[in-house]
Amino acid sequence: MSHDILDVLPVAVYITDAEGLLTYFNDAAVKLSGRTPQIGVDQWCVTWKLFLPDGTPLPHHECPIAIALRGGEIAEGREYLAERPDGTRFWFSPYPAMLRDDQGKITGAINLLVDITDRKLAQDKAERAALLLSAIVDSSEDAIISKDLNGTITSWNKSAERLFGYTAEEIIGKSIEQLIPPDRLSEEPQIIARLQSGERVDHFETIRRRKDGTLLDISLTISPVRDPSGRIVGASKIVRDTTETKRNEREARLLSAIVDFSDDAIVSKDLNGTITSWNKGAEQLFGYTADEIIGKPVTVLIPPDRLDEEPRIIERLKAGDRVDHFETLRRRKDGTLLDISLTISPVRDAKGRIVGASKIARDISQRKRAEAEIRRANQDLEQFAFSASHDLQEPLRSVKIYSELLARRCGDRLDAQALEFLGYVRSGATRMELLISDLLAYTQVSKRERVAESVDANAALSIVLEGMSGSILESGARITSDSLPAIPMHGARLQQLFQNLIGNAIKYRSNERIPKIHISAERHGEGWTFTVLDNGIGIAPEYKEKVFGLFKRLHTSEEYSGTGIGLAICQRIVEQYHGRIWVESEPGRGSAFRFTIPVSRASDG
């Protein structure tokens, strides 16, 4: 048989006898298989090695032609993989056919191998690309949804599940309108119209609805999807949740409104000290407009003798510290100085790095003036009280001396009534003397004192109790105390406190029981709280504040002696040490006078 036509055919062709032994092959078969088979030796196939599509090696006696010669069927279009001796591989589809003689007896077979490598590779690439795409879509942070032109949802990724609350099974095949709040339904036809004209919709900001009915702010980017012929068949949407951004924007707007309307000057600067923002309050306070000052160094506001403050403030800010109520002087545009209180906080960027500072400056000129006035008034008052009490002593002494002389020298010439009156004069003078000495003691407390020492409260208490031993004995009072701490305070001042409080506890005892007095101290946050507890007559609630006032008494001198200055002195002492004094009491059962002495600040005296 002549093989002329087969010889030049660009498709691999070979022929075997009934045993499967090769009787013919063409050039294309050599080219495809990468080898020159041996006629009469090679059996079943021209290829070197054969595999099934999944990569399992296929022995040659199971190759398509072997099966065909055994009478088996080979489905058309089956695909096989083969390897050439040089290691390269190719895909092919075999087309085997039986050769029979006139009697119909099988004499052999002819096989045609169609090279499908290019098609297979292209298909592979497309499959890989599709896989990659779906992996990207699945792992995207954005919700990615596609729909056809009827608005039916055709795909739905993981982020869409998270964002809207529907699973892919629940929503695919449903209308996109399910996600749109009723008042926004008109948006959809508009979007579809734009898509149909081939347009893309970019960052369309709107509101959509979750499965649970809640609304969410989103930004949509929608692109038309085309079929291979270029016709638009649907749309893909990328949905970004902008709820957070929207909230941040709202907060930023609110914040800037607050900053704008604040009466305080709010200024920000970078770490080089260049002013970067300036509100209305700052304009009013310093006299510069924002245009004039932004971009200028903050040092234009600082008087020359305070310039060293700035580097120190910057150092603290860089360390992440906040500077609170720093009182200083600043300079207005017109050169005048003003007292301000600065609160400065570091400003951080998104990564948490400190990039600048925001300052709130409050004008405290008025407060400073008022403080100075109060200080002056207080000094005047003290001076007055001191000289008054001092000068009063002189005439008082005359009253005392002459009433005494009168009693001694002329006593026998006076009748009973005159003597009684003279007695009143003398006791009045004695009482006045007491008042004056207490008033002097009170004015004395206001002298500012530096505390260098710390006092052992146990020792102070012992000294006081020793001095009071007479009245303790007389009253039968039982006085106990816990172990007390050492505190930064003048010993004499603590003694004055104990003296007054324990003295009162004895004085205002109840006749119905043995007076019991207990002194204790308890540590609290910033210092110590002392308590002087008694079981005396107690104080009615409405007088709890009043008893600390100067000359405030709840009793007459006939009932209880006293001037009404003792507790006022106690309050003055405690306040000098930045502490507090108060009373807790149950009328008829007793009182607890408590005072605090802060440890940290007490040392500023």
Among 39-47, 224-232, 270-278, 547-555, which window interacts with ligand ADP (CB under 6 A)?
Answer: 547-555
* Residue 564 binds to ligand ADP (criterion: CB under 6 A): yes
Find out whether 455 and 494 touch, Cβ atoms under 8 Å. Answer: yes
Which one, 344 or 497, has the nearer CB to ligand ADP? 497
Strand order of the β-sheet with 215-226 is: 153-156, 143-148, 232-241, 215-226, 201-209
Among 140-148, 267-275, 458-466, 556-564, which window interacts with ligand ADP (CB under 6 A)?
Answer: 556-564
Rounded distance between C-alpha atoms, residue 154 and residue 146, angstroms: 5
Among 300-308, 332-340, 488-496, 534-542, which window interacts with ligand ADP (CB under 6 A)?
Answer: 534-542
- From 539, 574, 597, 599, residue interacting with ligand ADP (rule: CB under 6 A): 539
How far apart are CB 262 and ligand ADP at their closest, in Å? 45
String of contacts with ligand ADP for each residue 566-585, x by CB under 6 A:
xxx-----------------
Rounded distance between C-alpha atoms, residue 284 and residue 10, angstroms: 94
Q: Could you tell me which residues are beta bridge partners of residue 585?
A: 591
- From 591, 595, 598, 602, residue interacting with ligand ADP (rule: CB under 6 A): 591
- From 33, 111, 563, 576, residue interacting with ligand ADP (rule: CB under 6 A): 563
Tokens of 42: 């090679």
* Residue 553 binds to ligand ADP (criterion: CB under 6 A): yes
How far apart are CB 509 and ligand ADP at their closest, in Å? 8
Find out whether 565 and 551 touch, Cβ atoms under 8 Å. Answer: yes
Which one, 287 or 503, has the nearer CB to ligand ADP? 503
Which one, 72 or 587, has the nearer CB to ligand ADP? 587
- SS3 (DSSP) at 522: strand
How far apart are CB 584 and ligand ADP at their closest, in Å? 11
* Residue 499 binds to ligand ADP (criterion: CB under 6 A): no
Q: Of 378, 286, 367, whose CA–CA distance to 333 is shortest?
A: 286
* Residue 598 binds to ligand ADP (criterion: CB under 6 A): no
Angle between helices 491-507 and 416-445 (to 10 degrees): 140
Q: Which residue has the tokens 């924007």?
A: 249
Q: Of 20, 86, 84, 72, whose CA–CA distance to 48 is shortest?
A: 84
- SS3 (DSSP) at 209: strand
Q: Where are the beta strands (DSSP E) in 227-353?
A: 232-241, 265-270, 275-278, 323-331, 337-348
How far apart are CB 511 and ligand ADP at their closest, in Å? 13
How far apart are CB 399 and ligand ADP at their closest, in Å? 22
Tokens of 358: 């925001």
How far apart are CB 568 and ligand ADP at their closest, in Å? 6
First and final C-alpha spacing in the chain: 128
Q: Of 151, 216, 155, 153, whose CA–CA distance to 181 is shortest?
A: 216
Which one, 209 or 552, has the nearer CB to ligand ADP? 552
* Residue 29 binds to ligand ADP (criterion: CB under 6 A): no
* Residue 108 binds to ligand ADP (criterion: CB under 6 A): no
Q: Which residue has the tokens 């290019």?
A: 118
Backbone angles phi, psi at 574, to 5 degrees: -60, -40
* Residue 555 binds to ligand ADP (criterion: CB under 6 A): yes
How many degrees, rounded to 5, is the angle at CA 535 between CA 531 and CA 541? 75
* Residue 443 binds to ligand ADP (criterion: CB under 6 A): no
* Residue 537 binds to ligand ADP (criterion: CB under 6 A): yes
* Residue 495 binds to ligand ADP (criterion: CB under 6 A): no
Which one, 238 or 565, has the nearer CB to ligand ADP? 565
Q: Of 51, 42, 47, whose CA–CA distance to 30 is shortest?
A: 47
Which residues in this chain contact ligand ADP in the complex, by CB under 6 A?
A: 500, 504-505, 508, 534, 536-539, 547, 552-555, 562-568, 591
